[in-house]
Chains A and B, each alone.
Chain A
Amino acid sequence: DARVTQTPRHKVTEMGQEVTMRCQPILGHNTVFWYRQTMMQGLELLAYFRNRAPLDDSGMPKDRFSAEMPDATLATLKIQPSEPRDSAVYFCASGAGTGGEQYFGPGTRLTVT
């Protein structure tokens, strides 16, 4: 049963600390997406990759957020320094190509105090 995995599932940290979230896309999928979900803003696309290359990160605060794909089996989203307003659930999703559905991971619930 192929699925997207995310670690950690929960993270509580203090303001100013670095946070790294990891995602393992479904094997063979060539597109990876990072979303943020909050009560106020709903589901927002932060960045996405195709074949490990970043295609669009316009939704991501550039000064503190960074997203990378070191290899085809790992995507990372880093926040440095973290702020309370970054508290949200961060989802990773992967897809097999143009027009196909996106498969979501279980999310990382981040709380910044």
Chain B
Amino acid sequence: AQSVTQLDSQVPVFEEAPVELRCNYSSSVSVYLFWYVQYPNQGLQLLLKYLSGSTLVESINGFEAEFNKSQTSFHLRKPSVHISDTAEYFCAVSDPYNFNKFYFGSGTKLNVKP
């Protein structure tokens, strides 16, 4: 089974500051990578994904993530956060032998303070 590690369970940050949420995974073979966001009392929503091609992927609301194969990482960044970005963020990795099956990290709670 894949292992997905999100080292930071909580990240407090002030509004308009930059943020990085870290994600590392264990596979040495090709996988698909995803970031999901969960707002309180809601389901998970896809934020962005890496399937192939450019290692830098972007979302429509200013987040970006970079696939780093050598470091098996897929860190999520935003140069300037808003209060509305307060949510829990989950990194997910597909099973390398069954791309329909995902493994989720334990989540990082981003708390944006005014």
What is A's interface to B at a CB cutoff of 8 Å?
A: 4, 31, 42-43, 45, 48, 50, 55-56, 91, 93, 95, 97-99, 101-107
B43 pairs with A42, CB closer than 8 A: no
A101 pairs with B100, CB closer than 8 A: no
Q: A43-B104, A56-B101 are in contact. Are A103 and B32 (CB under 8 A)?
A: no
Would you call the interface of chain A mostly helix, strand, loop, or mixed?
Answer: strand
Total contacting residues, chain B, CB less than 8 A: 22
B49 pairs with A101, CB closer than 8 A: yes
- Assembly CA distance A105 to B38 (angstroms): 11
Q: Across the interface, which residues of B come within 8 angstroms of A95, CB to CB? A: 100
The smallest C-beta distance from A77 to any residue of chain B, in angstroms, reads: 15
The smallest C-beta distance from B84 to any residue of chain A, in angstroms, reads: 19
User: Is B56 interfacial (CB 8 A cutoff)?
Assistant: no
